[in-house]
Structure 1
Amino acid sequence: MLDFLLFAVVGALAQLVDGALGMAYGVVSSSVLLATGVSPAQASASIHAAELFTTAASGGAHLANRNIDWPLFWRLVPFGVVGGVAGTYVLTGIDGSVVRPYVAAYLGIIGLYLIVRSFRKIPQKPVPLHIVPPLAATGGFLDAIGGGGWGPVVTSGLLGAGGQPRYVIGSVNAAEFVVTVAVSLTFLIALLTGRWQADMTGNALAVGGLILGGVVAAPLAAYAVRIIPEKPLLRLVGILICALALYQISALLI
């Protein structure tokens, strides 16, 4: 019972950050699961199982708060699904840790850029549509590989291109639900066809806690995006990305 409550707290905190800043649920949850000895593939599969519920709750909350840019949402979904399916296929065959140094470097650069940009005038312009496909495909791929990566890659990339924080975060969170469904189905197919062999029953308690905490926190996080001014929100995102990059780099060096 204590473990369940611990994972519920982790899920709630992770979803508060993810729903408000557009990233971190997968990264935070993955870090906790990996620290308990769960393999990368099992951690990713467990997190995506939990995200079937948390991303649905988060997307619905952002919809209720009118935080979604629908043209951007429909542009993100197909490429994110393709990237997520490809990443799942790769992860069930190799060790996903080989890409972590590159992700950490990317996050550090983008995080610093966003912090600097938050002290300047934030442009009020739509996201250039030509950058969405590669960002979504890369985000989906890395999300499946590492159990988290959709938000850090896609949200940070779109904000760096000049997107308005409220609508970028809302759209990315809503699109994540569809990507999560695709990744979870691919894990299931890999398990049923024998490509991937794993016993997921041992993670049921952790998944249940992550689901409960995430679903409870999702509405509050979506409301926070609506009321927090753009510059502080962008600054918080940049600081969070830098912290994630430093954490990943330190973990690689230890």
Structure 2
Amino acid sequence: MRSLILLGLVGLAAQLVDGSLGMAYGVTSTTLLLAIGTNAAAASATVHLAEIGTTLASGLSHWRFGNIDWKVVGKIGVPGAVGAFAGATFLSNLSTEFAAPIMSIILLTLGLYILVRFTAFGLPRGNLGKPLRKRFLAPLGLVGGFVDATGGGGWGPVGTPAILASGRIPPRKVIGSIDASEFLVAIAASIGFLVGIGSENINFAWVGVLLLGGMIAAPVAAWLVRHVPPRILGSAVGGVIVLTNVRTLLRSDWVDAPGGVQASAYIAIAVLWAAAVAYSVREYRRDQENESVEALEQEARRREAVEEASTA
């Protein structure tokens, strides 16, 4: 019962992060499942089955708040589903001993990307209003879907930064569109895992509690995306993912690091993580101050223009 409650809380927290940041539900949940000894394919299958419900709830919530660009959803979602089915089939055919470290490496890479991306760069805002082409979105969806299924997460970490980097649609619509299109990815990956490993290898009680936690959090996350600084949240979540997956790798048969090495690695990661979060907080405050100054300057110029027009 304690494990089920914990998983439910993880599902809730992961969906709060995912709905606010456009990524990390699968990466966060799969990381925990691997940490408690679930095999790689079963962990990814469990998360993707839960995501059918959480992504549906998240998509509906984002739609309600006007956070979705349906053209983007269509152009990226279908290729993403194809890639997810292929990834699930691939992972299902790997041995457990081989698959677990590979998944941890994928998750660690994604965690590092999230940490560095949001700490160093924040959210780009140029090129707003320009259309996103299918020749960009289709390959992105295919790769994102494959990585998502094989890594137990990755749709958001691959898709969200790539579309954000284009700067062509507002950040909240990037996040809403990625969350909505992930519904198709979750369905395709789940079908692939059910065919590949069979339903008897999936703990449906775990699926249920992850789903429940995620569905509770989905509407809150859709609201939070308008209010929580993504830069700070990205740094915080990226650090959690990096620390957890480094722990899994250091304890794996591939590395089997001594206790002293493990402790030193954890301390070093924790220090860098704290520094990254502190830097993100500082840069966010600086950006807010700059935006306030720019707004005041624009208002002053507007008033001067009005006064000049009235005296002319």
TM-score range, shorter chain: 0.7 to 0.9
Larger relative contact order (CA 8 Å, sep ≥ 6) = 1
What is aligned with 1:186?
Answer: 192
Shift of 1:167: 0.7
What is aligned with 2:105?
Answer: 101
Q: 1:156 aligns with which of 155, 161, 172?
A: 161
Point out where structure 2 has 5 or more consecutive residues left out of the alignment: 252-312
Shift of 1:197: 5.2
Aligned residue pair count: 244
Secondary structure of the residue aligned to 2:226 is helix
In the alignment, is the contact (CA less than 8 A) between 2:79 and 2:142 conserved in 1? yes
Larger radius of gyration: 2
Alignment root-mean-square deviation, CA: 2.4
In the alignment, is the contact (CA less than 8 A) between 1:52 and 1:180 conserved in 2? yes
Q: Structure 2 vs 1, CA of residues 99 and 11 (structure 1 numbering), >3 Å: closer, same or farther?
A: closer
TM-score between the two structures when normalised by the length of structure 1: 0.85
Q: Spell out the pairing of 1:154-233 with structure 2 (5 A cutoff).
A: 154-162=159-167, 163-190=169-196, 196=197, 199-200=200-201, 203-228=203-228, 232-233=229-230
Secondary structure of the residue aligned to 1:6 is helix
> Residue deviations 1:178-197, cap 9 Å, x none?
1111111222233xxxxx35
* CA–CA separation in structure 2 for the residues paired with 1:109 and 1:87: 20
Q: Structure 2 vs 1, CA of residues 105 and 174 (structure 1 numbering), >3 Å: closer, same or farther?
A: same
Shift of 1:72: 1.0
Structure 1 window deviating more from structure 2 (85-94 vs 242-251): it is 242-251
Shift of 1:238: 4.9
* CA–CA separation in structure 2 for the residues paired with 1:114 and 1:32: 22
In the alignment, is the contact (CA less than 8 A) between 1:67 and 1:226 conserved in 2? no
Structure 2 letter corresponding to 1:224: L
Q: Structure 2 vs 1, CA of residues 110 and 49 (structure 1 numbering), >3 Å: closer, same or farther?
A: closer
Q: Structure 2 vs 1, CA of residues 109 and 182 (structure 1 numbering), >3 Å: closer, same or farther?
A: closer
Q: Percent identity?
A: 40
Q: Structure 2 vs 1, CA of residues 110 and 10 (structure 1 numbering), >3 Å: closer, same or farther?
A: closer
Point out where structure 1 has 5 or more consecutive residues left out of the alignment: 191-195
* CA–CA separation in structure 2 for the residues paired with 1:31 and 1:90: 19
Q: Spell out the pairing of 1:76-155 with structure 2 (5 A cutoff).
A: 76-94=76-94, 95-96=98-99, 97-98=101-102, 100-101=104-105, 104-105=108-109, 107-109=111-113, 111-118=115-122, 122-125=125-128, 126=130, 128-129=132-133, 130-155=135-160
* CA–CA separation in structure 2 for the residues paired with 1:181 and 1:197: 15
* CA–CA separation in structure 2 for the residues paired with 1:158 and 1:235: 19
What is aligned with 2:268?
Answer: none
Structure 2 letter corresponding to 1:248: N
In the alignment, is the contact (CA less than 8 A) between 2:7 and 2:210 conserved in 1? yes
* CA–CA separation in structure 1 for the residues paired with 2:53 and 2:153: 16
What is aligned with 1:193?
Answer: none
Q: Structure 2 vs 1, CA of residues 246 and 189 (structure 1 numbering), >3 Å: closer, same or farther?
A: same
* CA–CA separation in structure 2 for the residues paired with 1:73 and 1:87: 20
* CA–CA separation in structure 1 for the residues paired with 2:120 and 2:218: 29
> Residue deviations 1:70-127, cap 9 Å, x none?
1111111111011101101101111444365366346535642443333x87315246
* CA–CA separation in structure 1 for the residues paired with 2:127 and 2:160: 16
* CA–CA separation in structure 1 for the residues paired with 2:53 and 2:20: 17
Secondary structure of the residue aligned to 2:125 is coil
* CA–CA separation in structure 2 for the residues paired with 1:244 and 1:164: 26
In the alignment, is the contact (CA less than 8 A) between 1:30 and 1:43 conserved in 2? yes
Q: Structure 2 vs 1, CA of residues 214 and 93 (structure 1 numbering), >3 Å: closer, same or farther?
A: same
Secondary structure of the residue aligned to 1:42 is helix
In the alignment, is the contact (CA less than 8 A) between 2:48 and 2:186 conserved in 1? yes
Secondary structure of the residue aligned to 2:225 is helix
